[in-house]
Chain A
Amino acid sequence: MTGHAHTEAHAHPNYVKIWAILVVLLVVSVTGPMLGVRVVTLIAAFGIALVKAYLVAKNFMHLNVEKPVVHWALGVALTLMVLLYAGLAPDVQRSKGERWEKSAGFHYMSDAARGAMEHEGHGDKPAGH
């Protein structure tokens, strides 16, 4: 294939402008958590990460003009991630359920961390600690 055979007609957005928006979002994601407010930290860190990823996917990877088969393939992979989390999180993140309890050491938690959790009113203490 020679140099010009590949070209597909799609408009090129102002890439420098998009880069500038991404840099501004980066600054917000770094400075936002400095306020020390948990909700602000979550939004600044992870909410902005989602926005940045969307901008990169849409404008730099040109997913907005890509064929549906690509969207479907990416969607299936992302769905697998969600299923993985939904399937494993109850076991990984909890120390005990209705009919099970992790043995000592399985879910190690330092005394300081356990104290902090108990102080916050979490009743789900790790087994054996």
Chain B
Amino acid sequence: MLSQSALSARVARQPVAGQPVPSEPVPSEPVPSEPASSDLPAMTESVAIVEQRYDRAGLWVAIVVTFGWYLAGVAPVVVDSWLRYGLNASGAVTWLLFAVLGVVAAVVVLRGGGRSPVLPLVICPILLAGSVLGSLVSPDGVLGQFDWPFTMVGWFAVLALWRRRLPELIAFYAANVMIGGVILATLGEASRVNVGRFIALCCGISALQITVFCGSRMVTAMARRGAEAADELARTRSVNIAAEAVQAARRSRYETITGTVAHLLEGLAAGQLDLTDRSARQEVAVAVTRLRRYLVESDEVPDQLWHELQVCADAAERQGIAVDLVAPAGLIPTLPVDVRRALTEPIIAALAATATKARITVIASPGEVVVAILADARLDAPPPSLHGAVESSHDAEGEMLWLQARWMSPSASPS
């Protein structure tokens, strides 16, 4: 037990500058080695949204044209026919049936359906039947204005086949044209002029529909490719950013480790480092323990500070020191790496100077962590604090050294 004069107590609270070791900026948390994969599904989703938006725009064009023409162009013809030839021959029932089918098809495809063959298999045969019926009962023949079903089914087929392949639409048109041609011939209307008019009519009732159908597909595909390119660009950028962060963290670690061991290795190589000298041995012990701590700093464990202290204690035990690392009193809060370094650095320095035994304790609360060591150590100058929020103090009494590093949360007021 020493006299009062033998007791020296100092409190160090200094910035990082001047400390020979972790002098390089370091990331406060371990950097992920892979880019954040959680962003990728969101990007793919954005491509799907763009594609869906363009597809719907094309679909609305087809719906507006179909129903616009059906109301403005066909409805007056039906009314005219009704007035002239009566209800039965007017085709009003067919008009209503087609209107219902058209609405059903539009609603289904607007909701994203119509990919299975069910919708076209239900609607297309009815459309063709309506077309045949219209041609047969039309008062002015296949080419007359009252055979509107023959010309109109193509638009409804576009809606019913909106999510199906182009050949299916073409097959529908071919079937409609063939049936129309057969009826034309059967009814004896196939004069040379009429055949010419029929061919022109057939071109007129399919070309625009196919153009709308294909045009929408092309515009949608272009939009999807554009979105995919933007998506890929964003993904590449995020990969680059992550790679740069990983590289920066590696460079930082490399520079930190180099700063720790390079001069020692140079000293050993040049024969200038005298390992019989106590301070040189302490310096080597500090470097070795720091290296071991660096190796575990990015380990994913529940209690990082405790994990790092265990590594420091283990390094000292390998030097033959009996270390009593007591389980922490209280729960250690999550601390950034620079705070953890500031807390372990004095312990590393004290362990390097310890002769035979040391007791390391941690007392923790949400706003305060106190790491202390009591050891038979002779430490000429304990290291200054590496962090503004970490205060270190020490006290020597005979052969025994007590050294404490205390972190206080910036939000907690000092007691």
Do A and B truly interact? no
Q: A-contacting residues of B (Cβ < 8 Å)? A: none
Q: B-contacting residues of A (Cβ < 8 Å)? A: none
